[in-house]
A and B are shown apart, each in its own frame.
Chain A
Amino acid sequence: MSRAVWLTWKMHRFEVIAGVLLIGLLAISAWIVTGHITSLGLSDACWPRDADGNYATNACDSLMNDFYSITSSEGGFVRIGLALVAPIVGLILGVPIVARELELRTTSFAWSLQASRSHWLASRALPMLLVAMVAFVVLGIMGSMFFDTLAVGRQGAALTEVASGGAALVARGFMAVGVALLVGALTGRTMPAFIIAAIVVVAWSVMGVTMIQAQLSHGWAVWTPSNDDSWQAGQLGYIAYVDHGNFDTTKPGEDGQPGARFDFDTLDREAIATCGNAPDDDSGESAEFRAWADCADPIYQRGNDAGWNLTVPASRYGDYVAVDTLASLLVGGSAILLTFPVVARRRPS
Chain B
Amino acid sequence: MVELPVPQVGDPDLPDLPVSMPSPVLEAIGASKRYRRGGSWALREVSLVIAPGTITALVGPNGAGKSTLIRSWIGFEGLTGGSVRIMGIDPTADRAAAVGSIGYVSQSTALYRGLTVADHLSLARTMRHGFDAASAELRLEQLDIPLSQKAGTLSGGQAAQVALCIALGTGAPVLLLDEPLASLDPLARHDFLNLLVAAVRERGATALLSSHIVSDVQAACDQLIVLGGGRVTLQAPIAQSVAEHRLVAAGTAPPEIIVATFARPGGESIALIHSSDPALPPPTLEELVMGYLSAARGVTAATGRRVA
Evaluate contact between A110 and B127: CB separation under 8 angstroms: yes
Q: Could you tell me how many residues of chain A have their Cβ less than 8 Å away from some Cβ of chain B?
A: 21
Chain B residue, CB-CB nearest to A346: B76
Evaluate contact between A109 and B111: CB separation under 8 angstroms: yes
User: 1/0 per position for A181-217, CB-CB distance to B under 8 A?
Assistant: 0000000000000000000000000000000000000
Q: Does residue A10 face the partner (Cβ distance < 8 Å to B)?
A: yes
Evaluate contact between A11 and B115: CB separation under 8 angstroms: yes
Residues of chain B contacted by A114 (CB below 8 angstroms): 99, 127-128
Q: Which residues of B96-155 are within 8 A (CB) of A?
A: 96-97, 99-100, 102-104, 106, 108-115, 119, 122-128, 131
User: 1/0 per position for A149-178, CB-CB distance to B under 8 A?
Assistant: 000000000000000000000000000000
What is the CA–CA distance of A123 and B112 in the complex, to the nearest angstrom? Answer: 16
Evaluate contact between B74 and A112: CB separation under 8 angstroms: yes
Residues of chain B contacted by A4 (CB below 8 angstroms): 126
Residues of chain A contacted by B126 (CB below 8 angstroms): 3-4, 7, 123
Q: Which residues of A101-152 are within 8 A (CB) of B?
A: 104-106, 108-116, 120, 123
Question: Which secondary structure dominates chain A's binding surface?
Answer: helix
Task: Please pick, from A3, A10, A108, A115, the residue contacting B106 in the complex, using a CB distance under 8 A.
Answer: A108
What is the CA–CA distance of A11 and B167 in the complex, to the nearest angstrom? Answer: 21
B interface, size bucket: 20 to 34
Evaluate contact between A112 and B100: CB separation under 8 angstroms: no
What is the CA–CA distance of A36 and B137 in the complex, to the nearest angstrom? Answer: 59
User: 1/0 per position for A1-31, CB-CB distance to B under 8 A?
Assistant: 0011001001100000000000000000000
Residues of chain B contacted by A251 (CB below 8 angstroms): none
What is the CA–CA distance of A316 and B76 in the complex, to the nearest angstrom? Answer: 52
Task: Please pick, from A3, A113, A123, the residue contacting B128 in the complex, using a CB distance under 8 A.
Answer: A113
Residues of chain A contacted by B167 (CB below 8 angstroms): 112
What is the CA–CA distance of A24 and B96 in the complex, to the nearest angstrom? Answer: 41
Residues of chain B contacted by A108 (CB below 8 angstroms): 76, 104, 106, 108, 110
Asked, given contacts A105-B106, A105-B108, whether A116 binds B96 with beta carbons under 8 Å apart, the answer is yes
Evaluate contact between A106 and B77: CB separation under 8 angstroms: no
Q: Does residue B166 face the partner (Cβ distance < 8 Å to A)?
A: yes
Task: Please pick, from A3, A10, A112, the residue contacting B125 in the complex, using a CB distance under 8 A.
Answer: A3
What is the CA–CA distance of A271 and B266 in the complex, to the nearest angstrom? Answer: 114
Evaluate contact between B114 and A112: CB separation under 8 angstroms: no
Q: Does residue A348 face the partner (Cβ distance < 8 Å to B)?
A: yes
Evaluate contact between A106 and B111: CB separation under 8 angstroms: yes
Query: Which B residues lie at the A interface, using CB under 8 A?
Result: 71, 74, 76-77, 95-97, 99-100, 102-104, 106, 108-115, 119, 122-128, 131, 163, 166-167, 170
Apart from A7-B115, A113-B131, A114-B128, 17 more pairs, CB < 8 Å: A10-B119, A11-B112, A11-B114, A106-B112, A109-B112, A109-B166, A110-B123, A112-B74, A112-B102, A112-B104, A113-B99, A113-B170, A114-B127, A115-B99, A115-B100, A116-B96, A123-B126
Query: Which A residues lie at the B interface, using CB under 8 A?
Result: 3-4, 7, 10-11, 104-106, 108-116, 120, 123, 347-348
